[in-house]
Structure 1
């Protein structure tokens, strides 16, 4: 019987937290928008199932469970699980959901995943609407970086350091999400600004306006960088991820 109620509490905690995040506008920090409807419907169905479980009566388990010591151990484990369920659900509801940061970007390697999306079009065409994802993809796919040199760009993202030259080069970074935050892949465009840490910091959200050129850094392995004309700190957008 106790195991049944643990399962009920786990389901209820997860479903209520999911619906709350959706109502509060924070679900996008965990799930791709295309899956919002599926996720919310599944959570509502889960809540209905939980309510039904209160109505359905299960016969009491009269089988001996192995003695007083074993019962005490199982009771203690049950209490721990219940506390963790309540704490987890409460954290999702009461604490603001956090965006992935430069620490995660370093762990997953900026531009280290599969090239994705709309940046496959030629960067020599209309690039007025290119964002971080499109430029990062175009730079990786281009066989003529000289043709990109001089192209203007205005990009918004958070700062993560170039591991090869963290003093002079940083990435304007965004997380590309295909399903949920667990599979989010950091994509970024390298920016050459010597001693950038004097005026900026990791995880600062910035808008960088400039033009592309060959990388003057002798340490960085990024062949092309955005040479900034202006770097402005901005607020984190309501939807920090790209899709």
Structure 2
């Protein structure tokens, strides 16, 4: 294998090894759910467990291939004095300049330097990614991300699934266990929201600041992984101070008509209390 082929091989296998080790660590400490939907935990862990020995074997194979290539070069140089004289004669015939001979001598040295640089780069990538995943604390998606992904627009319904809205709004259904996603689906998919006014709610989420005296109580809904996470939220109107962005709060209150008639969302939560809480161990909805 040539040095130009070894470089990508080292980098690729090193990256696979780093990501696999980081994934296994996240699974071990219980943080894998911050990155993927829990239903994929077992599948992802098994793949990572397979990838570790496979990538190590690949790195060993690449290194051995490099060693065999060097052996071949060494044997080629031991062909004997006659061959050496013939080669020298041919070289002199083709180009007898000292500069040309210096370039030919420098080529193997440049190849060795390139291989070493690429090997060091692969090691740095592997160690760096692994160390970052082990040392840096995992974080959840933020209020800024929610704003970038349009938490306060009607597109929220895209993340709420296909549940029967009519059933959700019926009087015989217990709504005490509804989360932010459920209420967001109900409000944004129901044509007549007047029946929802006055319904009690108790919800937790993080704060995305809004206009005066209001904020959006937000959760991220994950279908596969954090990359496709879609924010869902409910507008909250409070007479008290609005908590800082990204603070997790528990809101107790009732659904009410949105005082901002120009807003897309027709229903908001009129908060009776807004209490700051710790981020839950499982901050996402699915």
Shorter chain as denominator, the TM-score bin is: 0.7 to 0.9
**More displaced stretch, 48-57 vs 106-115:** 48-57
Are 1:30 and 1:180, in contact at CA under 8 Å, matched by a contact in 2? yes
Write out aligned runs for 1:31-180 (5 A): 31-53=36-58, 56=61, 58-60=64-66, 61=69, 67=107, 72=113, 75-76=116-117, 79-110=120-151, 112-113=155-156, 114-117=158-161, 118=163, 120=165, 121-125=167-171, 126=173, 127-162=175-210, 166-180=211-225
2:9 equivalent to 1:4: yes
SS at 1:4 equivalent: helix
1:82 and 1:219 map into 2 onto residues whose CA distance is: 56
2:231 equivalent to 1:186: yes
2:164 and 2:111 map into 1 onto residues whose CA distance is: 60
1:59 and 1:137 map into 2 onto residues whose CA distance is: 58
2:9 and 2:223 map into 1 onto residues whose CA distance is: 35
- Please identify the structure whose Cα radius of gyration is greater: 2
Change (3 A) 1:25 1:15: same
CA RMSD of aligned residues (A): 2.6
CA displacement at 1:2 relative to structure 2: 4.3
SS at 1:93 equivalent: helix
Between Structure 1 and Structure 2, the one with more helix by share is 2
- Which residue of 2 is the match for residue 216 of structure 1? 259
Aligned residues: 237
Change (3 A) 1:230 1:104: same
Are 2:19 and 2:130, in contact at CA under 8 Å, matched by a contact in 1? yes
Are 1:119 and 1:134, in contact at CA under 8 Å, matched by a contact in 2? no
SS at 1:96 equivalent: coil
- Which residue of 2 is the match for residue 16 of structure 1? 21
Change (3 A) 1:119 1:185: farther
Are 1:170 and 1:190, in contact at CA under 8 Å, matched by a contact in 2? yes
Note the residue ranges of structure 2 that are not aligned, 5 or more in a row. 1-5, 74-103
